[in-house]
Amino acid sequence: LTTAATALALSVTATAGMAACEDGEIVVKFAHVTNTDKHPKGIAASLLESRVNEEMNGKMCMEVYPNSTLYNDDKVLEAMLQGDVQLAAPSLSKFEKFTKQFRIFDLPFVFKDIDAVDAFQSSESGQALLDSMQKRGLQGLAYWHNGMKQMSANKPLLEPSDANGLKFRVQSSDVLVAQMEAMGASPQKMAFSEVYGALQQGVVDGQENTWSNIYGQKFFEVQDGITQTDHGIIDYLVVTSVDWLDSLEPDVRDQFLTILKEVTDERNAESTKVNNEAREAIVAAGGTVRELTPEQRQAWVDAMKPVWAQFVDDVGQDMLDAAQNSNG
């Protein structure tokens, strides 16, 4: 009953925000998995939807389906290639089946903050990655920021050895599997929509995510506490299919891409603030947040960084150098 009620509530929410598309308009279905408010991706998707529907009225009509109501991230890219959805923004960790180059974004302790991620993505190397899946039918349009990842479990995590023997949910990325194994933990790949239930029922003991996801999904309510490790990042690729983009008239495509760029610049500039507010909201709601001493943090670096060697051939040493140089 609870699941059915939740599904109904979510579908009502999704429908409420949706513009009724008119005959002759190009319908753009945008499926994503997070909540819509107090979340960098959710806010950006809603802003994109309202701007497209206002400024391209009569030409294009966007419908955003948040909260995994249409597809989860495991299904959305296949659905896109079949033309069932036109836009998505999965995290960069979710492209394993299509390219190994994005592994650069999952390597622990490569980027010191989101400004460094932004600098790398704006560089020639970062921009080239947008086109890296064209042969597989996918076109990257923009990077959207979320933020730095934190670790949580059903017991305090201060030293990496505290994670030893615990089961952790990870996104579908072999780098993240290796990272958890490096700490002696058991990683389990799982869809985002299933994480809360899995933590609550003890199917897994812990997870890693950004403040906005830990707050938005209420993970803090079913964990002992959150440790501020800032050990990695979650960022997104706004992606479409090559076929769909090619099908647009040039002026329609240009207008759409211009709006997307403006939304991207505006919301990426706010992503760190949105995450900081989510951190504060977790504390205000009674969640426990733990900070590490410099010595403790160094122990996490020492435990996780050996993972780089396993994946350097996938990403290329030059790419790894470029990523590190973006730290300034």
Pick the closer one to ligand LMR by CB: 106 or 118: 106
Tell the smallest beta-carbon distance from residue 321 to ligand LMR (Å): 26
Tell the smallest beta-carbon distance from residue 170 to ligand LMR (Å): 8
Query: Given candidates 33, 61, 141, 151, which one binds ligand LMR under the rule CB under 6 A?
Result: 33
* CA separation for the pair 213, 10 (Å, rounded): 17
Pick the closer one to ligand LMR by CB: 216 or 248: 216
Pick the closer one to ligand LMR by CB: 60 or 85: 85
Torsion of CA 65, 68, 73, 77, to 10 degrees: -40
Q: Reduced to 3 states, what is the DSSP secondary structure of residue 162?
A: helix
Tell the smallest beta-carbon distance from residue 93 to ligand LMR (Å): 6
> In terms of Cα–Cα distance, which of 147, 142, 130, 182 is closest to 161?
182
Q: Which residues, at least 6 apart from 203, have a Cβ–Cβ distance to it below 8 Å?
A: 167, 188, 197
Does residue number 45 form part of the binding site for ligand LMR (CB under 6 A)? no
* CA separation for the pair 83, 217 (Å, rounded): 29
**Per-residue binding letters, 54-93, with ligand LMR (x by CB under 6 A):** -------------------------------------x--
Does residue number 213 form part of the binding site for ligand LMR (CB under 6 A)? yes
Which element (helix H / strand E) includes 63?
A: strand 60-65
- At residue 26, φ and ψ (nearest 5 deg) are -75, 120
Pick the closer one to ligand LMR by CB: 209 or 326: 209
Does residue number 234 form part of the binding site for ligand LMR (CB under 6 A)? yes
CB 53 within 8 A of CB 62: yes
**Per-residue binding letters, 154-193, with ligand LMR (x by CB under 6 A):** -----------------x--------------------x-
- At residue 191, φ and ψ (nearest 5 deg) are -65, 145
* Site residues, ligand LMR (CB under 6 A): 33-34, 91, 146, 171, 192, 209, 213, 234
